[in-house]
Structure 1
Amino acid sequence: MPAASATPAQVLVVDDEPDLRTLYELTLLREGYRVDAAGTLAEAWTQLQDKKFDAVITDMRLPDGQGLELLHRMLAEQRGERCIVMTAYGSAENAVEALKAGAFDYLTKPVDLKQFRSVVASAIQDTNTAARARQPAAPGVRQAGNGGAPGAQTALERLVGGSQPMRAVKERIAKVARSMAPVLVRGESGTGKELVARAIHACSHRADGPFVAVNCSAIPESLLEAEFFGAKKGSYTGSNQDREGYFQAARGGTLFLDEIGDLPLAMQSKLLRAIQERQVRALGSTQEDAVDVRVVSATHKDLAADVHAGRFRQDLYYRLNVIEILVPPLRERREDLPALCEALLARIAQDSGMPLPVLSPSVVQQLCDHPLGGNVRELENLLHRAVALSDGEELQVDFAPTQAPTALREGAPAAVAAAAPTPQPAALPHAVPADLQAYLDQQEREILVKALHESGFNRTAAAQRLGLSLRQIRYRIARLAIAAPNGDEPNDDPV
């Protein structure tokens, strides 16, 4: 509810059904807002010309046109109000169309009043935040980053690089953060898709809410529903108490679904319904709970191709891919390498409690000439090992142990894969590694690559040899970004 000392927010409700208009007006008046109402597009536009509002709520279908017409007109005149569109039950196409057209959010009829109040409050908060950001700061006062959101500038600064591709990514983040539209972040493994998702969250009006990151490929299929939607005590073996799912944990914030392309088809159907209806039913529960989350998903896969092949639901794809952000691979922004090395070394030095090491210009040039098919993740791995093996202040990077895994990463050119030597077990470091996890990941990667090579890249055979299940080896291959040589598709044929 607005603070008593603040000027009440002004809301315009546009709906041709008198009973619903009255319901919305009474609900908003109880929240302390001032409310105006209109029954047609013409009436709504007349009121918009007379005054400014903090939020506009419009039905999709009106007697003299579509609510989208009002939205398009507001955007054309660069009005500051956030627009919420109400759609008929189950009309997913209308909701996606509204979000793509620039709506802040949508509501499905019949409207859940608790959700209605929450969405309106978010829209008003976002309108006011954007208005403050447009105002010049008082002398000596430094404004927050994009949109005035706390931590927004810091989040964008973590996306290191001033190249044109990275500037485009940052500009798109600042733009899409303003709405509730689902975002699909695409890019090769190791490019920093989660950093992009965190920046979207930090630049949005939800920055004070939780950011919940989920690796969809790491959850056993039998536990997916309980992990996503929660579970009641006794709903399955070992369930000794009620537990929240990811949707409940992310209320009021952002739910980041990484590797969304790895979800089984059955779970894709349940996820689609949760996103569309904004309601989830915990395992073992008889009722649904409303959830207020913004969904950002990420994948290194070509989901459009997976849709065509029947591996990914088309309706879920269009629901998730309202707005797309493509994160460029490192080979397309090599001018960012010096700044990236500096930022990564600073973090490595801070974590390990060591003095900041120095990379000579010749080593930087060697890095620029290296394929770096594993993108920023591989670069960080190289620098971690260089710091661990360093005997002095000036670092020397040893590329040999990572050439084979690098060539096998997704996105690496075929010529690089062909030229890569057969991986050999890396020698133990002379000193204790500065980053144990990075060192262990490297050892695991090389063992997996060797087993896969010797099995003709048959994951089933490699898994049996290593004493793993097929799902476990799939997860490890995805986590370590291992791809078949020459871009061939790995297989799971039984042996």
Structure 2
Amino acid sequence: MTTRAILIVDDEPDMLVLLKRSLEPDLKCRVTLASSGTEALRHVSQGYFDLILADIKMPGMDGLALLEMVKRDYPEQTVVMMTGHGSIETAVEAMKHGAYDFITKPFDHDALVLRLEKALERSSLIRENLRLKKETRTSHVFQDLVGKSAVMQRVFETIRMVANTEFTVLITGESGTGKDLTARAIHALSARSEGPYVPVNCPTVPEHILESELFGYKKGAFTHATQNKIGLFQEADKGTLFLDEIGDVSPAIQTKLLRVIQEKEIKPLGDNRTISVDVRIISSTNQNLREKIREGTFREDFFYRLNVLPITLPPLRERREDIPLIADHILAKHCRKLSKPLKTLSPKLMELLVERPWEGNVRELENVIIQGILFSGGEEIQPRDIGIERLSGTGDCPEEETLLDLPYRDAKERNLQRFNNAYIGRLLAETGGNVTQAARKCGLERQSLQQIMRRYRILADRFR
């Protein structure tokens, strides 16, 4: 059993000695003494206490001032106040400042021990609650980053380690390995978790627009700047900015980003003044940035600023033992999203999934399983439901033979039906059946997407 720690604060040396001698054996605790509020704050900053027992009337910083400062920085801390000048007004004031209890001197020793035991029980409950919250939070953070392999356990440990720092992080890995999920996990486990998380998909934003999106602009900075606009750096203030696929950013933008990292300030377009920003930067890439440095398309100094804490995500083919676990996780998640009864993967299909090379990694595996959910008629998804019977290159595929037996137009239509059901089905699953958001994500006009959905009888209501 861990020894409980109590801090006693009083300007009377005799009272401190008396309380230490009597409380340590009766409460089975370790008592630390402080003769002033200033000394008490120093102790609190250096370690955790299950309970603080503080006198109100002290020279210099009195007990109420101490209480206020402790509760400001450590709101969960349990504090009991004591005084030889008891009054209802003083008790109310102490409670308003966050005291758990109020004890008047002189006090009966047995009554004091009983009330302090209750205060310690409160501290124990709070600590257990915080522990459970942390476990739940960690479990939620990693819910889509699935894996029991040794290489993934190292990734999880690295995420926990870097989350506790303020340094920049560079996440590398092939497309579909979970770079965005990793960035979100780092943010969620960090001290910035209550702040904003702002992702930027760099390749999808043209260079001339990316600069104004990142840094903002003043009214009149360019032709269509009809009003002031804050940039993504300001939106991410006190939080995290995730620069996805940073390898596609031009050298000109790299230079501006390097300046922000170094100086922690931005200058909106058309503005003469700079604005300080408190932002942690996490970036990702599926490219070899060292090769781009040799080619002269990526700044070396910018790379080293980004790569302070690197995380490399392994491709799926290098952790095949995780595939059954990932597949079952994806299956349960999308059966729920698609309002389908929970299905299973046949042993033969699972065997084929483990064998496949998965060039698109987890994202490709997810697409295949979504197809299986949508196209399977029974409770168990078979290889034929997703059009694979064996690895490509190992022989003829019965699904291909079936298509070749059909007239060209019918075979083409069947493939289009399969593709649109899987592709649009995933979009609608991700957006909760919101057609407007789905259209925006895939780059189509809303009316165009609705037309395709009508043609292939895809109902948005099934995904809500």
Q: Give the TM bin, normalised by the shorter chain.
A: 0.5 to 0.7
Q: Which is further off, 424-433 or 346-355?
A: 424-433
User: In the TM superposition, what are the counterparts of 1:427-446 in structure 2 within 5 Å?
Assistant: 427-429=415-417, 433=421, 436=424, 438=426
Task: Call closer, same or farther: CA 1:310–1:125 in 2, change over 3 Å.
Answer: farther
More helix by share: 2
Q: Is the 8 A contact 1:389 1:431 kept in 2?
A: no
1-structure distance, mates of 2:189, 2:131: 8
Answering whether residue 339 of structure 2 is matched by residue 353 of structure 1, we say: yes
Distance 1:295 1:244, change over 3 A: same
1:222 aligns with 2:225: no
Cα pair 1:389 1:429 within 8 Å, conserved: no
User: Residue in 1 aligned with 2:301?
Assistant: 315
Please say if residues 212 and 250 of structure 1, whose CA atoms lie closer than 8 Å, have aligned partners that are also in contact.
Answer: yes
CA offsets 1:102-152 (integer angstroms, 9 cap, x no match): xxxxxxxxxxxxxxxxxxxxxx989x99xxxxxxx9369655579949833
* Cα deviation code 1:442-463 (max 9, x no counterpart): xxxxxxxxxxxxxxxxxxxxxx
Q: CA deviation at 1:426?
A: 6.5
CA distance in 2, matches of 1:182, 1:399: 44
Aligned-partner SS, 2:199 = strand
8 Å CA contact 1:149, 1:205 repeated in 2: no
Instruction: Give the number of equivalent residue pairs.
Output: 310
User: Residue 340 in 1 paired to residue 326 in 2?
Assistant: yes
Kindly indicate whether the alpha-carbon contact (under 8 Å) linking 2:197 and 2:242 is maintained by their aligned counterparts in 1: yes
Q: C-alpha separation between the residues in 1 aligned to 2:235 and 2:258? A: 18
Query: Structure 1 pair 298/145, CA: closer, same or farther in 2 (3 Å)?
Result: farther
Matches of 2:73 and 2:284, distance apart in 1: 27
Shift of 1:385: 1.2
Within 5 Å, which residues of 2 pair with 1:356-395?
Answer: 356-395=342-381
Alpha carbons of structure 1 residues 53 and 332: separation in structure 2 relative to 1, 3 Å: farther
User: Offset at 1:222?
Assistant: 1.1
Aligned residue for 1:331, secondary structure, equals helix
Residue 182 of structure 1 deviates from its aligned partner by: 0.3
Q: Which runs of 5+ in 1 are unaligned?
A: 1-6, 8-32, 36-50, 56-78, 81-123, 130-136, 408-414, 441-495
Q: Does 1:160 align with 2:176?
A: no
Match of 1:254 among 221, 240, 256: 240
Secondary structure class of the residue paired with 1:428: helix
CA change 1:335–1:52 in 2 (3 A) is farther
What is the identity, as a one-letter code, of the residue corresponding to 2:187?
A: H
Indicate how the Cα distance of structure 1 residues 200 and 125 shifts in structure 2: closer, same or farther if over 3 A, else same.
farther
The 8 Å contact of residues 146 and 203 in structure 1, kept in 2 or not, is answered as no
The one-character-per-residue Cα deviations of 1:217-271 (angstroms, maximum 9, x if unpaired) are 1111111210110111222222222112110111111100000000001110001
2:176 maps to 190
Distance 1:437 1:125 in 2: 48
* Equivalent AA in structure 2 for residue 169 of structure 1: V
Summarize the alignment of residues 344-493 of structure 1 with structure 2, pairs less than 5 Å apart: 344-397=330-383, 427-429=415-417, 433=421, 436=424, 438=426
Q: State how far apart, in whole Å, the 2-side matches of 1:360 and 1:303 are.
A: 41
Q: Deviations over 1:335-393 (max 9, x none)?
A: 11111111111221122111111112221111001111110000001011111211121
The alpha-carbon deviation at position 204 of structure 1 amounts to 0.4
Structure 2 distance, partners of 1:270, 1:34, is 45
Whole-angstrom CA distance in 1 between matches of 2:44 and 2:240: 27
Displacement of 1:402 in angstroms is 9.0
Question: Is residue 296 from structure 1 mapped to residue 282 from structure 2 by the alignment?
Answer: yes
Q: Matched residues in 1 for 2:364 and 2:337: separation?
A: 18
2:137 corresponds in structure 1 to 151
Aligned identity (percent) is 40
Find the aligned partners of 2:259 and 2:132 in 1 and give their Cα distance. 32
- Separation in 2, partners of 1:354, 1:348: 8
Alpha-carbon separation, structure 2, partners of 1:165 and 1:358:
27
* Structure 2: gaps (5+ residues): 1-7, 9-36, 49-71, 78-122, 395-399, 401-411, 429-464
- The aligned residue for residue 232 of structure 1 is 218
| 1:296-344: CA deviation from partner (whole Å, max 9, x where unpaired) | 0000011111112111001100000000001111011111111111111
Matches of 1:311 and 1:426, distance apart in 2? 44
Highest CA radius of gyration, 1 or 2?
Answer: 2
Query: Which amino acid letter does the alignment assign opposite residue 353 of structure 1?
Result: S
Contact 2:348–2:383 (Cα < 8 Å) also in 1 = no
Residue 65 of structure 1 is matched in structure 2 by none
Q: CA separation in 2, counterparts of 1:431 and 1:222?
A: 34
Give, as a single letter, the amino acid of the residue that structure 2 aligns with 1:162: K
Does the CA contact (< 8 Å) of 1:278 and 1:290 recur in 2? Answer: yes
Say whether the 8 Å CA contact 1:382–1:398 is kept in structure 2. no
CA distance in 2, matches of 1:328, 1:428: 32
In the TM superposition, residue 431 of structure 1 has moved relative to its aligned partner by 11
Aligned to 1:251, what secondary structure does the other structure show?
coil
| RMSD of equivalent CA atoms | 3.9
Cα gap change, 1:402 to 1:391, in 2 (>3 Å)? closer
Change (3 A) 1:193 1:313: same
